[in-house]
Structure 1
Amino acid sequence: MQTEEALDDLAEGAKEEIEAKEEIEDAEEVDSEKEPVETEKDSNTPSEKKGIFGKKKDKKDKKDEQIEELTDRLKRTMAEFENFRKRTAKEKEQMFEVGAKTVIEKLLPTVDNFERGLQAVSEEEKKSSFVEGMDMVYKQLLSSLEEIGVKQIEAVGKEFDPNLHNAVMHEENEELGENIVSDELQKGYIYRETVVRYSMVKVAN
């Protein structure tokens, strides 16, 4: 009997010791799971306190970077196209100017021949229908040239201008001032702002 009671006491003591040990372990586990309370001092640690200059910038999204890149490429393409358009328009205008000048140069000898032919007509023949018709064609030709911007260069009585006149003869004339055009041997013409043909002139003094 004493042996059984002793065994029961030992078993009961071991059971109580195991239960006490389990309670201690449970209490420690609960304490470890609790989050530490952040104090005011902890919130100002160097790792958390970055300030205005210490705050890192958010990284740009790839889509935003692609949009910026495409927008920049579009602006560059539009600028290049605008430059190309202006350059093409200028080149086109220059080509037109050169072509028009070439055509005018080829027409001027015809104008010269009309003038020579009409000057050779006698007073009696000027009233004939043929001469009147030729005179009308000549005036129409001059009118058409004026409409496209062709003008005759003024020469006789004007001061000699090397940008407009080509001096081929010289004379002394007391009635005229110095360096004055006294006679025009061949008419000169200007197309807009460009000289198509210089006036061939005689210069006095």
Structure 2
Amino acid sequence: MESEKPTEAAESDVELVEDVQDVLAELNIDEVVKERDEFKDIALRVQADFENYRKRAAVQLTDEVDRSTGRIVEAMLPVLDACEAAVAHGVEGVENIWSSLLGTLQKSGLEALDLQGQPFDPALAEAVLHEEGDGGEAVVVEVLRTGYRWKGRVLRAAMVKVKG
């Protein structure tokens, strides 16, 4: 009987090795590697899509903040106009308020359009008065209401008198 035990153990080992080989044959390594690579590609695409979304959302947020701030500044333009008119009529004490308000808004991105003596541009100004000229190019001869640009976008067109 003692001689049968090693034979049984050897047969058991052979069966175990065969079982392991069968399992390994079923686990096609190439398929596992291919599936891993597919999941890795999917993960990289999702990561890139998320990064693009994050950048796009940041740009949209910045644009929305600029537009909202521009609407607030646009609502303040009548106050600037009133101060400018008061200064033009010699009202004392208003010039400091007007220059302070204008300076603060300019630091934030407001730009007054300087059109005096410039060729007329309908994208920047509205011609409300016209003076006959030599027939050449229309030129702004007087600014009746100041126009403003906010971060590169015309917030309000100027009202001007043109000649030509």
Band of TM-score, shorter chain:
0.7 to 0.9
Shift of 1:166: 1.0
Q: Distance in 2 between matches of 1:97 and 1:166?
A: 25
Shift in Å, 1:140: 0.8
Larger radius of gyration: 1
Amino acid at match of 1:171: E
> For residues 136 and 84 of structure 2, what CA distance do their matches in structure 1 show?
29
Query: TM (normalized to structure 2)?
Result: 0.76
**Offset of 1:62 from its aligned partner?**
4.3
**How far 1:177 moved relative to its partner?**
5.8
Q: State the 1:156 CA deviation.
A: 1.5
For structure 2, the 5+ residue unaligned runs are 1-27
Deviations 1:156-204 (A, max 9, x none): 1111011211111111246x96311111111000112100000111110
Out of 182-191 and 64-73, give the one that drifted further: 64-73
Q: TM-score, normalised by structure 1?
A: 0.62
Q: How do 1:108-147 and structure 2 match up within 5 A?
A: 108-121=77-90, 131-132=92-93, 134-147=94-107
Shifted more, 97-106 versus 60-69: the winner is: 60-69
- For structure 1, the 5+ residue unaligned runs are 1-58
Which residue, 30, 34, 47 being the options, matches 1:65?
Answer: 34
**Counterpart check, 1:192 vs 2:161:** no
| CA distance, structure 1, for counterparts of residue 88 and residue 120 of structure 2 | 26
Q: CA RMSD in A?
A: 1.9
Task: Report Cα offsets for 1:65-96 as digits up to 9, x if no partner.
Answer: 33212211110111110111121112112211
Which contiguous aligned blocks of 4+ residues in structure 1 show a shift greater than 3 angstroms?
59-63
Identity %: 31
Counterpart AA for 1:193: G
Give the number of equivalent residue pairs. Answer: 137
**Alpha-carbon separation, structure 2, partners of 1:185 and 1:69:** 67
Aligned equivalent of 1:152, options 95, 112, 134: 112
* Matches of 1:177 and 1:147, distance apart in 2: 37
Q: CA deviation at 1:138?
A: 1.1
2:30 matched to 1:74? no
CA distance in 2, matches of 1:159, 1:109: 26
Matches within 5 A, 1:17-56: none
The residue number in structure 2 matching 1:51 is none
Q: Structure 1 residues 141 and 177, CA, compared in 2 at 3 Å: closer, same or farther?
A: farther
Residue by residue over 1:101-127, the C-alpha shift from the partner in whole angstroms, topping out at 9 and shown as x without a partner, is 101110100000011112222xxxx6x
Matched residues in 1 for 2:36 and 2:111: separation?
Answer: 57
Structure 1 residue identity aligned to 2:49: E
- More contact order relative to length (CA 8 Å, sep ≥ 6): 2
